[in-house]
Chain A
């Protein structure tokens, strides 16, 4: 009988939904960081301030941003939450659209997955229209979509790329072919780092090929294997995103004779890359300061929401951007790379421990 069947289906749905909803209707994952008294400051309207960080990927690198975000939330007395995108443009648009429904969220920091994706910029503008403050963090929008965010906090990726390129030139004066590894090569930070690298490295370094993995770590490993097979004369392996570093080092270390002929330059300090640096499987890594991005992001969003112009001016010297700087990490003091911002991996580990971090 159709009626009985449909009614049973309906009741099964009601029961199921009730179970799911009842199991998780609490505030289980909310990361309130309202300080010792747990009293968050309020907007002019009277509601406590809540901030949301939306990532471009789910890399370990974001753990350091999250730590800075939590510490910022505690120090500035606001509630914070991070939502990690699984690595697609559609996924990030979904997260931005979901944020429209979160009435208690006042400010959003977005690591823009595709600088030139109009859909991401449109979703950010929708949030602004809904009265929420939106900033870009880590990876910015393309210049034509700059109106979609109030400010950008992150690395000057061209300068970071130049630093990486100069380090490569120091380690390998003769130059050579470069294979580049990255999640999404059209992301703003990837493009800028690559551009900066070849500026800093000079004419002796030429690009052999750029391998995209789309955020898939397994593919990131197989890309390195493919590159080593496809380009027997490659001289330099360049990893643009944090998780590329251990994948490059894993593959290169598997063949010690080949490793001797390669210069490996990476960005950031993935947790898995720390050991590789200690063992010399990575020659140099240009490390951003994700902790600072998270911390300053919270401070800036709160100041923008509360229209605290003095704090905004302090964080944004030029009114729009904040460069959180880079450090250059080398395996040991024997490295020929020198400079004020150069640290050995041991020194970097000491700093990580002081912040309660395992990666940066």
Chain B
């Protein structure tokens, strides 16, 4: 309890397991013992298999790879938020619905609401698009803070809190848009999600910042500690409520950013956008080594997990004729979640 902290003896939080792993690395271990080595091997193996099985080698076309990386970048923004939440011992099922709401809100801010408030059209006034984006991101943060408050004050499990908003936020998006797509044919807005240079730059910047935040800051270590053992973290003097506000706020921010990017890609804000995107995000984090029990995982691993999943989905759709990637992705994601979690559970069980 936050109110009890004054009576606790403040000690150093337990070191994150990723940090413990890093401490054991030295010399050759830096080359061979990298925690993400397995994922890199798997990515290389998948690419090699695609190369061997696709006689046309069309997977490796410049256009094909650009599309793959562009797609991975859009989903990657969502996966970063999911990873931070999972490391903190939580779960966020509302990602897809936040994407939908952010899509509708950003499109309506750009084309209807801000112009109606006297800001002028988005093409005439260069501040309309940045304002719409900032307001949408702020909405994402607010949704994340609402999740944290539901978990902290109402003592709802994260699963239930975010399940509720998963349903509610999409409904809100439908009401706001009246089930109509909202076209945003504004270049400054669309470029973020349509132009690979922008999308990939945004994702790389987010990934770097998230990596530095989680691995190089005290706050990041506290989040690992929270996920590893919340009771121990509390006894160590940490404030779990504050940490959850930060974690869910960050996840909401990233989900809203994802919504903006996907809207830029399609050129329309839609309440139907983002269905099952939480599955993509959570799967990338889990495959990247994040334990659903919390306290374990990394941003680097999540990025590698994301790349691996995207390669497998696109590659499988490419190699198996007559099946496209949208058909196979559910099967791939489902199998991947089962295999990755079962593998982690097996390893953990043997250790114990």
Question: Could you tell me which residues of chain B, from 116 to 151, have a CB within 8 Å of some CB in chain A?
Answer: none
The answer to whether A89 touches B268 (Cβ under 8 A) is yes
CB of B319 within 8 A of CB of A24, answer: yes
Q: Which residues of A contact B21 (CB under 8 A)?
A: 2
Do A7 and B266 form a contact, CB below 8 Å, given A83-B324, A117-B183? no
Q: Does A81 contact B (CB under 8 A)?
A: yes
A-B contact count (CB 8 A): 179
Instruction: Kindly report which residue of chain A lies nearest to residue B346, judged by CB atoms.
Output: A8
Would you call B26 an interface residue if the criterion is a C-beta within 8 Å of the partner chain's C-beta atoms?
no
Chain A residues within an 8 Å CB radius of B320 = 24-26, 28-29
Q: Does B162 contact A (CB under 8 A)?
A: no
Is the beta-carbon distance between A212 and B179 smaller than 8 angstroms? yes
**Contacting residues, chain A, for B322 (C-beta < 8 A):** 27-31, 81
| Across-interface contacts of B315 in A (CB, < 8 A) | 21
Bound: A185/B181 CA distance, A: 9
Residue from A9, A18, A184 having most chain B Cβ neighbours under 10 A: A9
Rounded to whole Å, the gap between the CB of A208 and the closest CB of chain B is: 15
Contacts A8-B38, A89-B181, A214-B272; is A29 near B326 (CB within 8 Å)?
Answer: no
A122 touches B194 (CB 8 A): yes
Give CA–CA (A21, B58) in the complex, Å: 16
- Asked whether A233 is an interface residue with its Cβ less than 8 Å from the other chain, the reply is no
Establish whether residues A18 and B49, one from each chain, have CB atoms under 8 Å apart when the complex forms.
Answer: yes
Which of these, B33, B42, B185, B289, contacts A118 with CB under 8 Å? B185
- In the assembled complex, the CB of B322 is this many whole angstroms from the nearest CB of chain A, namely 1
Say whether B266 contacts A93, CB under 8 Å.
yes
Whether A101 and B58, one on each chain, are in contact in the complex, defined by CB atoms closer than 8 angstroms, is: yes
Residues of chain B in range 297-331 having any CB-CB distance to chain A below 8 Å? 308, 312, 314-326
A15-59 contacts to B, CB under 8 A, are: 16-18, 20-21, 24-31
B262 near A94 (CB under 8 angstroms)? no
Q: Does A130 contact B (CB under 8 A)?
A: yes
* Residue among B21, B185, B326 having the largest count of chain A Cβ atoms under 10 Å: B326
User: Which residues from A are CB-within-8-Å of B268?
Assistant: 89, 114, 116-119
A29–B323 contact, CB under 8 A?
yes
Is B45's CB under 8 angstroms from A13's CB? yes
Question: In the bound complex, what is the Cα–Cα distance between A13 and B311 (angstroms)?
Answer: 12
Chain A CB count within 10 A is highest, among B37, B40, B335, for: B37
Residue contact B273 to A90, C-beta cutoff 8 Å: yes
Does A312 have its Cβ within 8 Å of any Cβ on chain B? Answer: no
- Give every chain A residue within 8 A of B293 (Cβ-Cβ): none
Q: Does A6 contact B (CB under 8 A)?
A: yes
Among B41, B308, B314, B316, contact of A20 (Cβ-Cβ < 8 Å): B316
Flag if B190 contacts A118 (CB, 8 Å): yes
What's the nearest-Cβ distance from chain B to residue A97, in Å? 5
Known: A13-B308, A101-B59, A101-B67. A90 touches B339 (CB 8 A): no
Residue interface bits B259-270, CB-to-A below 8 A is 1, else 0:
000100111101
Within 8 Å by CB of B316, from A6, A11, A21, A212, lies A21
B347 touches A5 (CB 8 A): yes
Is chain B's interface secondary structure helix, strand, loop, or mixed overall? helix
Asked if B262 and A9 sit within 8 Å, CB to CB, the answer is no
| CA of A95 to CA of B71, assembled, Å | 12
Flag if B266 contacts A102 (CB, 8 Å). Answer: no
A89 touches B270 (CB 8 A): yes
Residue of B nearest to A94 (CB): B326
Q: Is A319 an interface residue (CB 8 A)?
A: no
A38 to chain B: closest CB distance in Å?
Answer: 16
Contacts known (A91-B326, A119-B266); A10 close to B38, Cβ less than 8 A: yes
Chain B residues within 8 Å of A8, by CB: 38, 343, 347
B35 sits at the interface (CB 8 A): yes
**In whole Å, how far is A220's beta carbon from the nearest beta carbon of chain B?**
13
Contact in complex: A6, B38 (CB < 8 Å): yes
Contact B39 A10 (CB under 8 A): yes
Give Cα distance in the complex from A28 to B347, angstroms: 37
* Interface positions of A (Cβ within 8 A of B): 2-3, 5-14, 16-18, 20-21, 24-31, 81, 83, 85-86, 88-91, 93-95, 97-98, 100-104, 114, 116-120, 122, 126, 130, 184-186, 212, 214
Give me 21 A-to-B residue pairs in the complex whose CB atoms sit less than 8 angstroms apart, sorted by A's number: A5-B347, A8-B347, A11-B38, A13-B308, A14-B45, A17-B42, A18-B49, A24-B323, A25-B319, A28-B321, A88-B273, A90-B262, A90-B266, A93-B265, A97-B67, A100-B61, A101-B63, A118-B268, A185-B179, A186-B180, A186-B181
Binding site for A on B (CB under 8 A): 21, 24, 29, 32-42, 45-46, 49-50, 53, 56, 58-59, 61, 63-64, 67, 71, 179-181, 183, 185, 190, 194, 262, 265-268, 270, 272-273, 275, 289, 308, 312, 314-326, 332, 335, 339-340, 343, 347
Q: A24-B316, A116-B183 are in contact. List 15 more A-B contacts (CB 8 A).
A: A2-B33, A7-B38, A9-B42, A10-B40, A14-B41, A20-B312, A21-B53, A21-B316, A86-B326, A88-B275, A95-B324, A101-B64, A103-B58, A117-B266, A118-B183
